[in-house]
Structure 1
Amino acid sequence: MTNRQHGERLDQATVIRTALELLDAKGLDAVSTRAVADRLGVRINTVQWHVKTKARMLELMADAVTGETPLTDLPSAPDERVRELARRYRRTLLAHRDGASLVVGTYPAEPHTLRFADTLVGALLDSGREEQTVAWTTWAIIYFTLGLTQEEQAADQRPLGDLLARAVSEDTHPALHRIAGHLAPGSFDDRFAFGVSAILAGNSG
């Protein structure tokens, strides 16, 4: 059970905080309104009063996670600001078990998510890129960050490099065999930096 004190008033923030504790303890598959209610020691309809549905609860959880990304003390140079925002976002996702998978499945137009997106878009606009390029570059960076972080968080269970090494050989899949060694779990930091730089280079102002 969570550390909520007996008699303490239950509110939406407490529900979401408890849901994130459950996420970190047991993973995304274990998160449900019933499981959160059990953790709080209340009835499921009490939790649903504050979050309505599981889908809505996941949206609020995703927004809360995004809200942990610091938006102060950013570099002044626009592209460096973008890189730093992407790095901070990735670190925030990695700080929660299945953090990327949680956010991928939601589309929260909520305060923290909108504030992060506005800061990222502002940095790209400051670089002199056209508005359409900014919009598409924003999506490219966010989707890339989420996708690579999902792979990174699943690497302990299914490391891609090891899977490729077992599944391909020089005779059967020569191209994949040549690159398999570059997809080891330890390469995530470098792959992330490379990917963000490649996106920015391909969409320069």
Structure 2
Amino acid sequence: MNKSQREVVATALEILDEGGLEAVSLRAIAERRGVRMNTVVWHVKSKGRLLELMADAIVAEAGLNDLPARWDHRAAELLARYRRALLAHHDGAAVVGGTYAPEPATLAIAETLMAALLEGGYHDQEAVWTCWNTLYFTLGLCREEQAISSAEPDRLTEAVTSGAFPALHRTLPHLLQPSFDDRFTYGLQRLLNLPATAPR
């Protein structure tokens, strides 16, 4: 990104954090920056392109410095940073999950994760699919965490206790205690075959 694009994206992220994804628009950015909308369009071309640049800026916040040397700990730490970057912004997972952006930071995250998996002995196709699965799992869990409301447990209890869902009814106490940190750790352990002591 050039300097002007970075400034537009920074403003877009401010609006995102204040009002969520629905509040982000080229017009809102122009108003915030005190410029004409054509000026914003000149720098980012379209709302779709803006979202791609926003997604890459969010992903860039994960950072690649000082990752663990061991491949499995490196993969787990990288995905934990990716998750924190998504959760650091209102609707961050929705922005990133709603784009397909082969941008520098996004590619750097994928490259680092893929290299760790290959170092761990995954063959090429297995490394690709595991990379996808871990990133999609992280994105999906973050989208749920950012979207869930305080009313969800009551709605779930009411729906499940109707008698039509015996398996869900049996496991309801666990469904009602969604520790997203624990679910994330467990999911990575299963997807990467990590020991229970692997770092978050």
TM-score of the aligned structures, taking structure 2 as reference length: 0.91
- Residue 103 (str. 1) matches residue 96 (str. 2): yes
- 1:154-180 Cα distance to aligned partner (Å, 9 max, x none): 123663x44321211173211111223
Equivalent position of 1:3 in the other structure: none
**Identical aligned residues as a percent:** 54
Q: How many residues align?
A: 192
Stretches of structure 1 that go unaligned for 5 or more consecutive residues are 1-9
TM-align CA RMSD: 1.6
Alpha-carbon shift at residue 190 of structure 1 (Å): 0.4
Change in CA separation of 1:169 and 1:146 when aligned onto 2, cut-off 3 Å: same
1:118-169 deviations in whole A, cap 9, x for unaligned?
111111111011000000000000000000000001123663x443212111
**Alpha-carbon distance in 1 for matches of 2:155, 2:140:** 18
d(CA) in 1 for partners of 2:160 and 2:71? 42
Query: For structure 2, which runs of at least 5 residues remain unmatched after alignment?
Result: 195-200
What are the equivalent positions in structure 2 for 1:19-30 lying under 5 Å apart?
A: 19-30=12-23
Q: Indicate the larger mover: 67-76 or 89-98.
A: 67-76
Structure 2 Cα separation of the partners of residues 67 and 124 of structure 1: 20
Quickly say closer, same or farther: Cα 1:176–1:116, change in 2 above 3 A. same
Structure-1-length-normalised TM-score: 0.89
Cα distance in 2 for partners of 1:166, 1:38 equals: 45
Equivalent position to 1:181, from 173, 177, 185: 173
Equivalent residue, structure 2, for 1:41: 34
Pairwise CA distance, 1:30: 1.0
Shift of 1:49: 0.1
Over 3 Å counting, the alpha-carbon distance change for 1:162 and 1:190 in structure 2 is: farther
